Structure 1
Amino acid sequence: MTTLFGLLSAHSLWCLATARRTFSAVGYLLHLGMNAIMVAMVWPWWAYLPTLPQLALFVLAAAFFAAVAGWRVVDARPRGLASSVSRTGHHESAWAQAVHAVMMLAMVWAVAIMSLALASPAAALGPGGHQGPHAVAHAPTGLWAMVSGVLLVVTLVAGGISFLFALSRHVRVRGFVCDRVGSDLLAGAAMSLGMAAMCATMLAG
């Protein structure tokens, strides 16, 4: 997971540095933060990072991508079917932005669950009975956490598969992956499926 989200962080940083539009730059910046926090989450020192800034970041990110997805839906209607079919870029797609919003909601869920687990009395003692925070990767307590976690995992898997299908179509049309759209679709699939694996690990304990 460190390697996967480290590479995804590098991809987000490269795309951020080469972005031509403010909207795209904001999206890549938010994903850079998400991927960096995903790297930190698999290590014990994540527990020393403040929780509220992380929650605020991912709530705002989820709202940003949800708003963009809604705008894409509204924007596509007056253009008609032919126009919407021609607007196939990754950032022009409402479903892609909706999947990104779900990723950010999954981050809110993961940060909240891990923070609650670390705050519990059982987490006060580390291995061998020593005091201090440590990484949390067990099933969350409470029905709401379990149900919402399962829904997020299912949605993330579906989103990752949809990115892979879109990547397959892109390769058939363009003949290669290594362009901006192809790399975005591949990164989206890796992020979505990687986050689904992390959340599923937390649920399974």
Structure 2
Amino acid sequence: MVADPALQWTFTVVFAALAVHSAYRIVVDRSRPAQALGHGLHVLMAADMAAMPWPWWAMIPGSWQIVLFSIATAWFLVLLVLQVRRTIPRRVLGGHGPWHQAGHAVMMLAMVWMVAAMNPVGEAAPVSGHDLGLSAAHAHAAVSGWDAATGIAVTAALLVAGVVLLVEFVDCVRGPARTWRGHTGDVASGAVMSFGMAAMSWLMLAA
């Protein structure tokens, strides 16, 4: 998906670090099942994004990823609705509000688009060596028409989500002392994830 080795490693290092952070947060928030599950979904998403710049990512079955991230999207949308209806208090979800859940839903939905756009048949054919690079290049070329139109919307949504999370991060930093470190870290990692995914989506569209 990404031809420049420097960009490949940059994306991989950033998303791998985000995966490690989310894994750590699972342990910290183990007493909050809903929050811990969200962290687990982010581990999978960040790990997938860390692998996505490389040709061998095409070997991962696309249909599995689409199902996983579709379920993840639905999960965060359910949390969003429950928070809007005030069925779930903020403390159950680490102090995060509805906009935070909306941002996560956007990221998970963006994963569905990325996988579907790069692997339109839903499954990766067994390839190796030079053919693997050709397969990734073919997936790039497939991003056109409807994929491009929806991709622009997805990229814009990721940027908006990133800005929302960035504003929330600034509020946390400037807020009262009762704002706990984990909350601030979650917001910061979410903003980095959103902007990083937007950058990768843009590269897909520009290729």
Question: What TM-score do you get using the length of structure 2 for normalisation?
Answer: 0.82
Q: Is the 8 A contact 2:165 2:188 kept in 1?
A: yes
State how 1:20-59 maps to structure 2 within 5 Å: 20-59=31-70
- Aligned pair 1:7/2:17, yes or no? yes
Q: Is the 8 A contact 1:66 1:98 kept in 2?
A: yes
Partners of 2:115 and 2:12 in 1: CA distance: 17
Q: Is the 8 A contact 2:107 2:158 kept in 1?
A: yes
Moved over 6 A (4+): 117-120, 175-178
Residue 101 of structure 1 aligns with an amino acid whose one-letter code is A
Q: Is the 8 A contact 1:6 1:35 kept in 2?
A: yes
Q: Is the 8 A contact 1:156 1:192 kept in 2?
A: yes
- 1:90 Cα offset (Å): 5.5
State the match for 2:110 in structure 1.
106
Give CA-to-partner distance per residue, 1:7-56, whole Å, 9 cap, x none: 10000000011112100111000000000000110111111111111111
State the match for 2:166 in structure 1.
164
Tell me the secondary structure at the aligned position of residue 119 of structure 2.
helix
Partners of 1:176 and 1:168 in 2: CA distance: 15
Give CA-to-partner distance per residue, 1:84-110, whole Å, 9 cap, x none: 9x97x7654111101101101100010
- Percent of residue pairs bearing the same amino acid type: 37
Change (3 A) 1:182 1:52: same
Aligned length: 191
State the match for 1:135 in structure 2.
136
- 1:139 Cα offset (Å): 5.7
Q: Is the 8 A contact 1:140 1:146 kept in 2?
A: no
- Aligned pair 1:147/2:157, yes or no? no
Partners of 1:172 and 1:91 in 2: CA distance: 16
Partners of 2:159 and 2:173 in 1: CA distance: 21
Q: Is the 8 A contact 1:139 1:203 kept in 2?
A: no
Partners of 2:14 and 2:179 in 1: CA distance: 18
Gaps of 5+ in 2: 1-10
- 1:135 Cα offset (Å): 3.4
Residue 33 of structure 1 aligns with an amino acid whose one-letter code is L
Change (3 A) 1:125 1:28: closer
- 1:143 Cα offset (Å): 2.5
Partners of 2:106 and 2:161 in 1: CA distance: 9
State the match for 2:7 in structure 1.
none
Partners of 2:18 and 2:143 in 1: CA distance: 30
Partners of 1:24 and 1:190 in 2: CA distance: 19
Change (3 A) 1:92 1:200: same
Residue 183 of structure 1 aligns with an amino acid whose one-letter code is G
Partners of 2:151 and 2:52 in 1: CA distance: 17
State the match for 1:66 in structure 2.
77
Alpha-carbon RMSD: 3.0
Change (3 A) 1:32 1:189: same
